[in-house]
Amino acid sequence: MRVGWGRRPAASWETPGVDTSPDAVWRHRLKILAEQWDLPASAPGRLGVLLERLAADERAPTTVRDPEDAVDQHVADSLVALDLPEIRSATSLADLGAGAGFPSLVLAAARPEARVVAVESVGKKATYITETAQAMGLTNLEVVPLRVEEWSTAMGEVDVVTARALAPLAILAEYAAPLLRLDGTLVAWKGKRDEDEERAGAAAAELVGLRPGEVRPVNPFAGARDRYLHLYSKVAPTPDRYPRRPGMARKRPLAS
């Protein structure tokens, strides 16, 4: 029986007879995730390349580089978004402040039929994502080396905007709204819930044409705590004055 949207029950980590060497453990975990989330046949190999590069490249812009840790803290944490129909059906996704490429690289491997854009203004990080996507054989991922406020060619065209550990919700609302088409969705990865942040996010959302939606608790791996996906829907056109010039969303959040 399937559980949730295209999701199978997760298998056990400690299957009798399975090789328990470090390399085998994380590869087995990838296999479990592929089955759990009904990933395409190409995905485990591509995600394996991603984890190998994290371990081997000291330039990787993340402190979590050991594959045994990264398979959960990066890959599994990114894949939880596949439980959302909005992610499963999107034809275009934009990942803001993509950093080391999570969730953009993972979702591009999981959804090869969708166009995924990693928006990352830091040159070294953008280069790392580009090189990793090439090593993974991803042809559906594009890197935009700009601040999100400067990415004018995508205004009003994106199905889903994602943001993982990037900024408070009020700032994310201002970043995402101009990019989203009507009925598009912002998905924000967040930790422990904060009533003040959520209240400010709702106030900012109203100004830019978004509406707060579900706050979904997620459990991407054993021991994960206080992890939520915050959803916002675009319900009205975003006023022409947004986005404001680069830096203003952080300097003067809309809800302040």
Instruction: Please state, in angstroms and rounded to a whole number, the distance separating the CA atoms of residues 213 and 205.
Output: 11
In a domain, 2, yes or no: no
Residue type, 195: E
H or E stretch at 162: strand 158-164
Is residue 206 predicted with pLDDT exceeding 90? yes
Q: Confidence band (pLDDT; 50, 70, 90) for 21?
A: confident
Mean pLDDT calculated for residue range 29-35: 97
Q: Confidence band (pLDDT; 50, 70, 90) for 223?
A: very high
Tens of pLDDT, residues 35-66: 999 999 999 999 999 999 999 998 899 999 99
Tens of pLDDT, residues 119-167: 999 999 999 999 999 999 999 999 999 999 999 899 999 999 999 999 9
In a domain, 44, yes or no: no
In a domain, 40, yes or no: no
In a domain, 222, yes or no: yes
In a domain, 103, yes or no: yes
Kindly report the backbone phi and psi dihedral angles of residue 116, in degrees, each rounded to the nearest multiple of 5, phi listed first.
-120, 130
In a domain, 35, yes or no: no
Least Cα distance to 81 among 188, 234, 210 occurs for: 188
Tens of pLDDT, residues 80-90: 999 999 999 99
Structural domains counted in the chain? 1
Instruction: Please state, in angstroms and rounded to a whole number, the distance separating the CA atoms of residues 198 and 130.
Output: 33
Mean pLDDT calculated for residue range 101-126: 98
pLDDT confidence of residue 23: 86
The residue segments making up the domain with residue 243 are: 79-248
Q: Confidence band (pLDDT; 50, 70, 90) for 3?
A: very low
Q: Confidence band (pLDDT; 50, 70, 90) for 29?
A: very high
What CATH number has the domain bearing residue 243? Answer: 3.40.50.150
**Residue 91 DSSP code:** S
Average pLDDT of every residue of the chain: 92
Percent of the chain with pLDDT over 70: 92
pLDDT confidence of residue 9: 45
- DSSP codes, 63-83: S---HHHHIIIIIIHHHGGGG
In a domain, 95, yes or no: yes
pLDDT confidence of residue 18: 52
Place of tokens 């090189």: 131
In a domain, 104, yes or no: yes
Record the pTM: 0.91
Least Cα distance to 117 among 134, 131, 89, 98 occurs for: 98
Is residue 11 predicted with pLDDT exceeding 60? no
Mean pLDDT calculated for residue range 192-213: 98
Between 17 and 186, residue with greater pLDDT: 186
